[in-house]
Amino acid sequence: MPTLIEKLSVKQSLAEARTVAERWHGSPAVSAHMTDLQGMFSKTIVVEMEDGSE
């Protein structure tokens, strides 16, 4: 059963975001970080891809 992202640790959230971005874009992710401003019930993560896109 899937786990809601807000229940994941920061480390787990970053890993999941990288995995999803790599599958969606079809290229490797080079970094992932949390944004400074976060919502109450969400996590905003920026993933930088090998081609420089975010």
Q: What band does 52 get if pLDDT is binned at 50, 70 and 90?
A: very high
pLDDT band at 53 (very low <50, low <70, confident <90, very high): very high
pLDDT recorded at residue 33: 95
Q: Which residue has the higher pLDDT, 36 or 38?
A: 36
pLDDT digits (tens, 9 = 90+) for 5-33: 778 898 999 999 999 999 999 999 999 99
Nearest to 13 by CA among 5, 21, 2, 22: 5
Record the tokens describing residue 19, joined without a space: 């995995």
Q: Which residues contact 54 (CB under 8 A, 6 or more apart)?
A: 46, 47, 48
Structural domain boundaries of the chain?
A: 5-49
Is the pTM here over 0.85, yes or no? no
Residues 6+ apart with CB under 8 A from 45: 13, 14, 17, 32, 33, 34, 35
